[in-house]
Amino acid sequence: MLDIKREYKNGYTVYNFINTTEPKMLEQLKVMIKNDMNQTYMFMFDFKNVDYLSVDDIKVLQKIYMMSVNYAFEIGIIGLSNQAEMMFEIFQLDQLYSVKKASNVFYGESYESSYSA
Amino acid sequence: MYFMGRAMNLHIVLDTNNDYVFDKENLLSTPETINIAGKEIIHYWLEWARHKSYNTLYIYSARSIIDNKKNEMLQDLYGVKIVYQKPFELHGVKFDKDVYQGMGIFLDSGEYHYFKSLDDVFVLEQELIHKPLKYCALVGYGADDAIQVGKNVYIHKSVKFSGAVVIGDNCIIEKDVEIENSVISRGCLIKQRSIIKKSHIDQNIHMNMGLSLNKKALFESSIYDMMKKESYSHEGLCVKH
């Protein structure tokens, strides 16, 4: 089961990825993003709980990037492991997304809701 | 000609520490078959043996897989006999001075350059592609001294080479590929739009399209990051063939 924890912080919608290996991840992400676009056009994908990114995960992120171009929303990336960072570099995703090193880039109050699909 | 007819043997003793270092990287190959600048390490030993008129190369290794067909081919090619032995067979052997511990290759000076880590291999490889060893035959031929291209290689006209590049035999380099200061070992397929800089592609790798490798060594099931000095297993970077 794909589990993404959703948070709203300082104008960003933050998706905290727990597991990224679901084949249906792309469609689920698209639905989530479309719903959340009502609130903000700024998203942050947090991968601090993901140790390993597969090529399939990378393909999903490539397609989400295309969606972000079509709908003109912004996505930042935080919390990449060494392996994930290397996959971003190899597939040149680091040139598409804004990858931030530190995971504590947010300040202030937040609230959480869990999304399961 | 004092040494004429006298049996001279070269002994390479691979230790467990070497095995551990290269096992840990999940290379799926024996240490002596690791490629440097387009050649397996055993080729460097045999070329040194031929250069120094040794009759026999003894390799002491606990885990060597002896491929008789390959050994016969190498013996015919270099005129040096290859004998694999287990480390316990070291006891009772009376060595002359030509015994070298651990995995390494001989430099032109005669120094045995010992590899303590996979990183050592790629540091030396970068030096060798710019300045090949004099006692070794080059992997291939090119109009430019710094670019060596082996036999039966297809390179699309749009491919850009810069710096020192070694391409082994039987490789295909597809269109819009950029290769800079790198080694592509034999039998590789580099698919279109790939960028390879200061990297090493192991033999028989069919790379996926559009990958960008900078200071990486790509093996069948693992990739080594030369900057972070770490290996990662991978799926999907190579196409199964």
pLDDT at A109 exceeding the cut of 60: no
> How many domains does the structure of chain B reveal?
2
Which residues of A, range 42-81, sit inside 8 Å of B by Cβ? 54-56
- Count Cβ neighbours within 10 Å for each residue of A2-12 and write b for 16 or more, e otherwise: bebbbbbbeeb
Is residue B15 domain-shared with residue B125, that is, in the same domain?
yes
User: A3-102 — its CATH code?
Assistant: 3.30.750.24
| Residue B19: per-residue pLDDT | 64
Is residue B121 domain-shared with residue B162, that is, in the same domain?
no
> Residues B43-60: what's their mean pLDDT?
94
Q: Which of B103, B130, B157 is the last residue of a domain?
A: B130
Is residue B160 domain-shared with residue B195, that is, in the same domain?
yes
Range with lowest mean pLDDT among B137-146, B161-170, B181-190: B137-146
Average pLDDT along chain A:
81
Range with lowest mean pLDDT among B140-144, B194-198, B200-204: B140-144
Which residues of A, range 18-37, sit inside 8 Å of B by Cβ? none
The residue type at B67: D
Minimal Cα distance from A86: which residue of B?
Answer: B225
B144 lies within 8 A of chain A by CB: no
Minimal Cα distance from B196: which residue of A?
Answer: A90
> Residues B38-58: what's their mean pLDDT?
94
- CATH number of the CATH domain containing B183: 2.160.10.10
Segment B54-77, tens digit of pLDDT: 999 999 887 766 678 888 999 999
CB-based contact B210 A89, cutoff 8 Å: no
Is residue B19 domain-shared with residue B44, that is, in the same domain?
yes
Banded model confidence at residue B102, pLDDT cuts 50, 70, 90: confident
The residue type at B96: D
Which residues of B, range 57-116, sit inside 8 Å of A by Cβ? none
Q: Does any domain span residue B4?
A: no
B236 lies within 8 A of chain A by CB: yes
The full DSSP string for B156-189 is -TT-EEEEEEEE-TT-EE-TT-EEEEEEE-TT-E
Q: Does any domain span residue B135?
A: no
Q: Does any domain span residue B72?
A: yes
| Residue B124: per-residue pLDDT | 96
pLDDT at B99 exceeding the cut of 60: yes
Domain limits for position B160: 147-233
Q: Which of B130, B161, B183 is the last residue of a domain?
A: B130
Is residue B215 domain-shared with residue B109, that is, in the same domain?
no
Banded model confidence at residue B240, pLDDT cuts 50, 70, 90: confident
Is residue B112 domain-shared with residue B162, that is, in the same domain?
no
Segment A34-75, tens digit of pLDDT: 888 888 888 999 988 888 888 888 988 999 999 999 988 899
Is residue B99 domain-shared with residue B173, that is, in the same domain?
no
Minimal Cα distance from A51: which residue of B?
Answer: B232
The alpha-carbon gap from B104 to the nearest alpha carbon of chain A, in Å, equals 29
Give alpha helix (H) positions in A1-117.
25-36, 55-71, 82-90
| Residue B88: per-residue pLDDT | 73
Is residue B116 domain-shared with residue B20, that is, in the same domain?
yes
The label of the residue with tokens 């601090």 reads A48
Predicted complex ipTM: 0.81
Minimal Cα distance from A83: which residue of B?
Answer: B232
